[in-house]
Amino acid sequence: MSTTIAPADVPESPAPTATPTRGRGLPRRLVRPAAAVLSGVLLFLSFPPRPLWWLAVPAFALLGWTLRGRRLRAGFGLGYLAGLGFLMPLLIWTDAVVGWLPWVALTGVEALFMGAAGLGIAAVSRLPGWPVFAAGLWIAGEAARARVPFGGFPWGKIAFGQADGIFLPLAAVGGTPVLGFAVALCGFGLYELVCQVLARRAAARFEDAAPAPAPARGPLLAAALAVLVPVTGALAARPLVSDAAEDGTATVAAVQGNVPRLGLDFNAQRRQVLDNHVKRTEELADAVKAGREPQPDFVLWPENSSDIDPYANADAYQAISDAVREVNAPTVVGAVISPPTGKLRNTLIQWEPNRGPVAEYDKRHVQPFGEYIPMRPFVRLFNKDVDRVSRDFGPGNKVGVFDLAGTKVGLATCYEAAFDWAVRDTVTHGAQLITVPSNNATFGRSEMTYQQLAMSRVRAVEHSRSVVVPVTSGVSAIIRPDGEIVARSELFTPDVLVEKVPLRSSQTPATRLGTLPEALLVALAAAGLGWSAVRAVRARRNRTA
């Protein structure tokens, strides 16, 4: 008689009758925790600056093996360990700023969301088609992490590690949630596919000589589809990725002035930072007059390129005005505005030749513990560096779109690039091009700037827009709507990037659908948890009947 053994039905080995020695039992108990940490490390290695995006798939396969069939408490613990293995190396650049304690606290809190996802994945792992529900639960965890606490921290979304991957076109279909879901589904499906193949081989070895019905193919087919559908969907979505110039082109210049020093003290010589950007702009003007560079339609300076409030400092105002007049192009200047009362403002100013400032955009999502300090008295007990932020920044409330020489330019300042809504609504408000002015000097030569650059590449494909990233100290870049970097600078090197880029006004499905794909994936995760709960209740009733 033939028997089909599905992975979910394979019972765990019975406990040995003799109590194992500590030396022999401990390594076995550590196998799954070690595998959970390793899955997180593989996720980290899939992120830039390494071009190893494909490692995310075996990472999720290993995580699936770790969590499959576990109890809920074990699922939470294993998911939490995977989160630490992923986030601790990914976010180590925060250690360079304020020391190890805030880094450990941040990763410890953020890993809780992955622990919750691990709990959910363990709960649904015995369901038919569990990889679909497991991938949905991972995205539900990312959705929660992007919203709470303090407005969320979406750094480390799986989608942001896929800027070079084959799944990238799916960003245009449903944004970062659909892109991340596809990667997780492919990984979980790969594990299930291996399980099904091994189970069928095991069943074949135990077949009797008598004829028997063939093993069911449904679970094997479902596992294969979990791997093939994301890949096929990504290939089918490729026509959505285009760099055609629907609205003509614009010649844009991104100025990287560089900073006099690294770390939190980079702005101790604030005038030097401003003068660096003025000098680079004037050099660009000279190059244009000499015919070495084309005349830019507009110029983009980075965030904090003028930490001196130009409205309160006549010298700074005049220096910016002179540089803008020399280059003869509208210029976006990143400035810190210090009102007499109230909170500081992280502001982008549209500066016109011979007219001066004509429009402003205040950063809407200011960075907790960076630009403002929540619970300051409590946090001070653990780290006195919080008092470096002696005056908090306040958020703006208006979408940033500047009309620069006839081009609608959407504005997302630095940290905002990690948030889906902050970039999307610039496009829905008419942006033909997106800029992400940033200041990464605080984080030295860490991987932070490369991680942020990858976000901008994903945003380019997600919304089919050219994206320009001017950074005070690097890496600055100009990105086409298909995610290709056509110009980039080096870290801590003064530079000016000048390129002609396509302008586009059509909207991708991801732009039009907004939060709907994410909401559907969260609903899918909830449905899986509900189904799992119902099965558990029925099983309990059957045992007590």
Q: Report, as residue numbers or ranges, the catalytic residues.
A: 303, 363, 414
Please write down the HEC assignment for all residues of 293-361: CCCCCEEECCCCCECCCCCCCHHHHHHHHHHHHHHCCCEEEEEEECCCCCCEEEEEEEEECCCEEEEEE
What are φ and ψ of residue 352, in 5° steps? Answer: -100, 145
Asked if residue 513 lies in contact with residue 174, where contact means CB atoms within 8 angstroms, the answer is yes
Distance CA 92, CA 158 (A): 17
Structure tokens at 129: 């088609």
**Nearest residue to 106 via CA among 72, 70, 153:** 153
**Nearest residue to 151 via CA among 362, 416, 426, 410:** 416
Structure tokens at 271: 């005038």
Distance CA 475, CA 489 (A): 5
Show the beta-strand stretches assigned E in 109-266: 249-256
- What is the Cα 324 distance to its own chain's centre? 34
Q: Which residues contact 528 (CB under 8 A, 6 or more apart)?
A: 120, 123, 124, 127, 130, 132, 133, 134, 136, 137
Q: How many CB atoms lie within 10 A of CB 256?
A: 30
**Nearest residue to 468 via CA among 418, 481, 441:** 481
Asked if residue 491 lies in contact with residue 452, where contact means CB atoms within 8 angstroms, the answer is no
Q: How many CB atoms lie within 10 A of CB 189?
A: 29
Helix pair 130-145, 100-124: axis angle to 10 deg:
150
